Structure formats: structure tokens, C-alpha cells
A and B are shown apart, each in its own frame.
Chain A
Amino acid sequence: MTEKMLVVHGLQVSYGPVEAVKGIDLEIRNGEIVTLIGANGAGKTSTLQAIVGLERIKAGKIEFLGQEVTHQPAHRLAAEGITLVPEGRHVFPRLSVDDNLNLGAYTRKLKKAELNAQKEKAFTLFPRLQERRRQPAGTLSGGEQQMLAVARALMLAPKVLLLDEPSMGLAPIVVQSIFETLREINAQEKLTLLLVEQNAQMAFSLAQRGYVMEAGKIVLSGSTGELAENPGVKKAYLGI
């Protein structure tokens, strides 16, 4: 399992004169959980959005399963198996939980029975959603919305799932439960995850490897065990 799932070469993203991402390299292998940590404004979200095709790439190259996919639009990348759970959850607020999940499987054109089977699987992972399946997603609590955002992305049957700060604004116990589910999916289905976090402690508990991003550049990388021992990381991200 050392096949490369996602490789980023020299990625640059700019907003006018502001360079948000200044040429970074990332490598995510098949079945891995990798985290990208950094402070506000480090360029983490821009990196993720550029990878999934939601942000324009100024320079650099993205390879997905050995194929170059730079500059492909987001909807095509989604059909190929790369999707993003955006920061702040972004559930479809006025649509029911059920319809949110149906839209997750939009690219797959499933038959009704297959779609229902997929939803049952999602409800096994997140039983709380089943109780609320007819409710508009906007009425769910923050934790439930995050569960729904993850479940919806899983309906797409992605090969690699990018998560942008799933812990944001949630109680630690809720985050733990969501991370536990992600770990389960990773173990059972070899789903590759790229997790962007500010909460380094949470991220290190889930990921095997990590990158540290500062001011648009990768400043450190290694196994999460090594990173957790690094004095700089300890001071800046773990508060030790």
C-alpha cells in the first residue's frame, strides 16, 4: 500500500497580489490519514480548495492516482473520487437530511435500492442522522451538521476525502466521536483522508503523518509521533 493517491508539486495560489500558497509539495499515499496543520491564514483552506478544483491554481501540478488533474473543475474531480467537506460544514439547510445524502450520491446515478442501501450504511455510521432524516438539515445541531457533511461526502464513495477543520466550533466529545468514525472508515475501506486542522492534538490522534504549514509554506513534515515531539510544534500548536 505505498501507491501514491494524491501528489501536489509546487502548488501556488494567489488572490490578486496576495500569495496565499507559495509553492508547496504534499504526498498522500493510498489508505493513509495525513494531516495539514497551521494557524489562521497559513493557506490551508486555499490548498484544499485548489486540490479539489474550487480555487484557481497559479502554478504547480496535482496528480491523482498517477494522472495529472491540475485545473480540472471541481465537479469532474468529484466524479473521479476527490471530494471536500468544507470548513463550516455547509449542509444544504432547507433540504432534509435524506435529500442532503441523496445529493451526496449525485455523480453515481444509483438505482433507488442501491441508494437506500448506501444511506443505511451512512446511518449505521452516524445513527443520530437516522432519527432526523426528515428534518431540514439547518435544524440540526452543529455536531449533527458536521456528521451530515461527512456522511454526505461519503455517499459519493470518494477515493480520497479532504476535510477542512471538521473540529471547528464543536465540543471535544463530538469531535472525538466523528474522528472515531473516520478512523473506522479508514480501517475498513482504506479510504484515504487529508485532514486540515488547527487543533493539532486532535489531528495527531487520528493521522499517521502530518505537514505543518506557515505563511503559505510547508515548514515541517513527518510522522505525527515525530511532529508531536518537535519543540516548535509543541510550543506553537500543542501549548506545551
Chain B
Amino acid sequence: MDSLFNPYYLNIVVIVGIYVILSLGLNIITGFAGQVSLGHAAFYAIGAYGSAILALQGHLSFWLALPLAGALTWVAGILLGLPSLRVREDFLAIVTLGLGLIVQSLANNLKITGGSLGLGNIPQPMLFGKPMSQLSFTTMTWLFVALAVFVAQRALNSRVGRAWLAIREDELVADALGVNTTILKVLAFALGALYAGVAGSLYAHFTTFISADAFGFSESATVLSMIVLGGLGSIPGSILGAILLALAPEILRPLADYRMLIYGFLLVLMMRCRPQGLLGKSTVLRDKPRRWLKKGGLKRGLAGDKETH
């Protein structure tokens, strides 16, 4: 038991939990509503810095700083989501990439964020008048994970969730069928950002030190890899993808310099063999040739098509 609860393992369990929350948030934006974002770390940063500054300068307790950081990123999500109303797909990816870089360089250069030195001495959360133990912080993080899963599931099964899927599948038709695509796209960004804000706040108060390095493009790319690996649009997929990719660098740690090489290779292999993600639904277009092969080749495929007319 002692070894299971050792600080190194608990540390990993907390970080994995934070990544699960980040993935679930990006999955709402990209997996549900179909808006590709390469700047998710921006929301993570806003949540982390927001919470840290509220605690350091505003002397607020963690329990107030976290919800306020969530509210702050919600608003940031609305503002940064506005470009999604004007640009689509690959153009949106570039715009969100740019926004991510802007937020990171602001964090790196503003006085209030501590510039390149970052912010240290962020207070740990207090519980019953004492600093929270690592075990209770771990438990709390995973309670937030559970809440995040619950909210994402409820949202997906709601009228809003169905509208998101319609936008992802075909925005023009969604519009023609009465879906207010403007409001719903911004709402997806806002909710996804709120998740990242909570994750950022947890991260800041867990590590007690943050700097702009932790919120760069590679962070956005990692979270995107997690949801693609798990299966875009799938909640269990986002959880699994986040767990695997957050653990992979730790598990591969003995391989030292080779670990990023193997990590990268696994991602490439994955996209080649299971492009829909581990738990994603198979996409129609990719599956078609395979089904044809099973049925006995192209000829029967074509004949079959004729019959259905």
C-alpha cells in the first residue's frame, strides 16, 4: 500500500486527471461541435494564471479562485470562440493556433503573470484549516473528473448536444434545419474553455508554480492527440486517450532519449491502423473499402450498390 500512495505515483494520478479534464473539454469543441482548435492550452493558461493571480494578489482561497477561474475562461472561450463564426476547418485551426501563441507570449511578457519567471508560491488548497494532503488533492481532482464526465454526457444527450453533432456533420444543413449555429459554436468553445480553466486552476494550485512554458503549442497538440487517439466525439475515448498519453512518457521513462521517438511512432501507427481512434465509431468512408474486401472485392461491391437502387 505504501508504494501505491507514494508521492510520485499520486503526482502522476493528479496530472493524468488534469489531462482527462482538458481532453473532455477539447472533445466538446472538436469532437462534438467539430470546431478544430489548436489553441486549447490558451484556456488552460488563462485558468491557471487567473486562479494563481486571484490567490496571490486577491488573497482568495482556492475554493473561490477555482470557480472564478472557470468563469473567466468561460468568458475567454466566448471571445476566442468568435473567430469560429467567420472561419472554418483548416483556417480555424490556424486562427486558434495563433490565439494560443498570443496567450502564451502574453503570459511570458506581462508583469502580472511574472513574465518568463512565472508565478511561484501559489498557495495549496486548504481543507479544514490545514493544507490539503496529496491524497485528498488526488481524490478531489478525480471528483472533478467525474463531474466533468457527467456534464459532458448530459450535454451530449441534450438538445444542445444534438445540435453540436449536426454542426459537426454539416453546418449548412444544421442552419437550414433551424439550429442557431452561431450561438451553439460559441457555447461549445465556452464550455470547453471552462473545463480547461478548471484544469488550469487545479494544475496551478497543485504544482504551486506555473510558467508560460507549460502552456505552449505542444500542450495543445498533446491534448488534441489524446482525443484523436481515444476517438473524436467519444467521452470514454477522451478519458482513455488522456490516460494513455499522459502515462506514456512516464512508462517509457526508462528508455530515456528514445521515449519521444517511440511515443511519436505509436501515434503514427495508431493513425495508420485505427484512424477513428481507440473507442471512436468507425467512419463510413474509411470502412467501405474494407467491407468490400470482406464481401469479395470491388465487383460485388458495385453490383450490391445497383441492387439497392
Contacts and interface: CB of A to CB of B under 8 A. Distances in A.
Interface of A: 52-54, 73-76, 78-79, 83-84, 86, 90-95, 99, 102-104, 106-107, 109, 136, 138-139, 141-144, 152-153, 156, 171, 173-174
A73 B178 CA distance: 9
Contacts of A102: 162
Given A92-B170, A136-B284, A139-B284, A74 B165 contact: no
Given A78-B177, A86-B176, A143-B309, 17 more contacts: A78-B176, A79-B178, A91-B170, A92-B166, A93-B284, A94-B169, A94-B284, A95-B169, A103-B163, A103-B166, A103-B179, A106-B162, A107-B178, A139-B284, A141-B305, A144-B308, A153-B176
B176 A84 contact: yes
19 contacts: A53-B175, A54-B172, A54-B175, A73-B182, A74-B176, A75-B177, A78-B175, A79-B178, A83-B178, A92-B165, A92-B166, A94-B283, A103-B179, A106-B159, A106-B163, A106-B177, A107-B178, A138-B285, A156-B177
Contacts of B166: 92, 95, 103, 106
A83 B176 contact: yes
Contacts of B288: 139
Contacts of A171: 309
A93 B34 CA distance: 13
Contacts of A139: 284, 288
A197 B288 CA distance: 31
A100 B9 CA distance: 46
B177 A86 contact: no
A133 to B, nearest CB: 15
A208 B305 CA distance: 34
B305 A75 contact: no
A105 B170 CA distance: 16
A103 B308 contact: no
B141 interface: no
A173 B173 CA distance: 26
A69 B166 CA distance: 25
A152 B309 contact: no
Residue of B163, B173, B180 most packed against chain A (CB within 10 A): B173
B225 interface: no
B309 A173 contact: yes
A104 B308 contact: no
A14 B171 CA distance: 22
A90 B176 CA distance: 11
B281 A106 contact: no
Contacts of B182: 73
7 closest A-B pairs by beta carbon, nearest first, are: A78-B178, A107-B178, A138-B284, A92-B169, A141-B308, A74-B175, A90-B173
B124 interface: no
B172 A75 contact: no
B181 interface: yes
B284 A103 contact: no
